Structures are given as C-alpha cells and as structure tokens.
Structure 1
C-alpha cells in the first residue's frame, strides 16, 4: 500500500529510543523528512548514527520554554511540520496514596502538557497550510486501571484531548488521532528489564494477560503510526486505536 509520505516533514517527541525511535525509522523508510526531540544527548547521537538522515534536537519536553525553543528548531530544520507525533512519556511513583501530588503533576507535564503544547504550536502552521496530522501515543492504561496511577491519569487526559482537539481542528484540514499501545517489548523498555529480572513471572503475565500470547513489538506500533498519519486514514478522526494483541479489557 502506497502511503504517500515521501518528503512529509515529521516531528516526533521522545524519539531517540523505543517506540519513538521505531516510528522515526518507519517514517524515514517511507521517505519522510524526520526530526526527533529527546532529553538525552547520548541517545540522540546513537539514534542519528543508526538512522542516516534523522535530524535530532535535544530538549526536556517537560519544560515549557524548552518546548517552544525545540519546536522552533524543528521548524528551522524541516521548513515546517506536516506531521507531529507526541510520543514522549514516562511513569513515576507507585500507588495513589503513596505518590505525591508533585509526582502526579510531573507526570502530567511530561505525558500530557507536552503533547498539548506541541499540538498548539503545530496547529498554527497546519491551519495556514490547510492540512496536517497529529498523532498522540498514549496507552491502554489511559482507559482502564493498570500500571502507575500518575501515568494512567496523564494518558487518560491525552486520550480525551485527542478526541476534543480532533473535533476542533478537522474543519481546518488537520486530523488528530492516537495509538494506545499495550505491553511492548524492546531493549530499553521496562518490560525487558522485568523480563531479565524475573522471566517466570513475566512469562506468566504474558500468558494470563495478553490473548495473543506474546509481547507486542515496536514495529507493530510504528506500522499503525505511519498508516494513521497517511492519507489512507483520511476518514479516521479523533480515534485512539489499541495496538495491544487483545490485552485491553475495554470494549472500544
């Protein structure tokens, strides 16, 4: 299937490793001009070495000033933004009662406010062009309990924003959608760490919790991402699609 993504200008947050890096690789294979933002300099250098043509920007996306500066850098590098992928995120804390309000606030800043802010910045240029795509990478745990509450709360806000922003800007030719991954195994992720520490426990988890009987791969999320950002998905608006091998217990 031809996705017609060649020469599209793509910006991905949290793109130096894991799912974000996989999405960047998929866009580059489609011929898109791709830049990633991440906090770690070493990770960005490694990503650029592994993906010829990838452009990199160092910034802490939980900081509002750095978001604005990094977005301007991306505009200068790419000459505009056709596709924004809000992938940056992370979890902290433990249970509701054992997690400080500041930790919840930090999770919102990293997972939700970064996506909201970059979307606001991107929409300015997209409105002028009369076209654009925003893709938000959330989690199945933004729809149901599981994982750390601070992360779940932020991803739930992201899923809600995906739908409401989509309805707001589709009239301007901008499509907004999301992907809610389930448990994805990759070398730099928490699942790999847990698997190394206690393989029997994690293998039982997979058997009991994932109907497909295995972890998902970064490539499977990336394949969904490039499709949703292509003109082939032109009538998909405001959706957050589970990419989880059946792991989610929700009916949508």
Structure 2
C-alpha cells in the first residue's frame, strides 16, 4: 500500500465494498489449521494452509488440468529448508459461497518437499531482554526461537530430544511446566503448558514441545510466532495502520 501510494482512507473505502463471509478452519491435532477453498472453472475443492507469513497461494497439480489456463509462468518458493515449484496460473478462487475472486493467480505445484506431503495440509529463571524481530505466521505450526532461547526452554521444562522425529518432548502427564512469556511492545503474553505441549500420539507417553530452533544467521526475523502462539492470542491485522493486535483467545484451555 505504501509503495503504491494508497492511503488508509482509500483502502478502507475499497475494503468496505468487498463481499463479506465466513470460512471455517479445520483443526488437525492443534498442529495444522486448514481451510477448504475452491479453485478453477468448474470449482474444485482443495484443503490449504492459510498462511499470513506468505503472499503466495499454491496447490498440488494432479496432472488433471489440460485447459489453456493451466499453462503459465513457472515458480519456485523456498520456505526455510523446504521448497515448492511448479507453474503459475489464473482462475477463480472461492473461500466461501459469498467470498470469491475471479482472477486469482496461484501456483500449481509439480514438485514439493517431503514435509508438505506429510501435512494434512514464568520461563523458569531464564530471561532474555534483547530486542529482536518476530513475525506472526499462520503458516507455521510451532514457535521458532533462537537456539540459545530454545536451549533454555528445554532446560526449564526438562525436555528430551527425539532424534527419530526431530523434536523435543516431555511426558504427557507432566505438570507445573512454566509459562512461556513473550514481551511484545510493553505487553507480556503468556503461553501456558497446555498450548505448547501437544499430544501427537508419540510412543511411551511422550508429548511434543512445539518449538523449533531458528538459525537465520542475522537474516530475517529471530522468532516465528506460529499456531502455538496464535491459539493463545487471536491476531488482528490492521493493514491501514501497519500494526498487529493480539487478544487472549476464549477457549477452555486458557
């Protein structure tokens, strides 16, 4: 908006005439949140991950499309250590019966990383007061943290590393684990054990610690606040004022 010289008032005036509607999210083990959309003419149903950390929309190409609309520019997107590539096309996007867009550009993925194929599609006494950048990302299931901070959280929770599944775990019946406390601006945001310890039906009564190490080397944000954070605090995106608001979610676990 800033780059294109669009004022906040102009944006709000245009937004006010757009269609309104609701799209239901699908909760998969509190690890992925999916949304059903339709793409194409005639409409085809797809389950996607609504991802505020990316401006890209892509679905897997099952080699069923033979129309001219499916022939377009190639694309490659890298997500950390993962990737997706294919061809860009334009067709109708539907989020619900009342929310459609006739000329949506999206990717038909012809090759994807293995990870995407597996998808359905008081921090103890440790404190780090260094100011760093973070991104709120609905496309990331867990919280990405700098290695130093993650190691401190692992120590505070007595978590162990699972080499086979490449994650940290604690016993599912563990009690009294400390809250994770993030300070954003001057406000503290507490993430309780029930949100960052998730039962993925691992062996021996183990539950996953839903954090992973960030090794950006100074490039990009130091933290990624994924679904583990967003389950606890609803995110409100105020594009006109270039800000994000957080509000404590209303559900029985917190």
Normalising to structure 1: TM-score of the pair?
0.27
Bigger strand share: 2
Query: Greater CA radius of gyration, 1 or 2?
Result: 2
Bigger helix share: 1
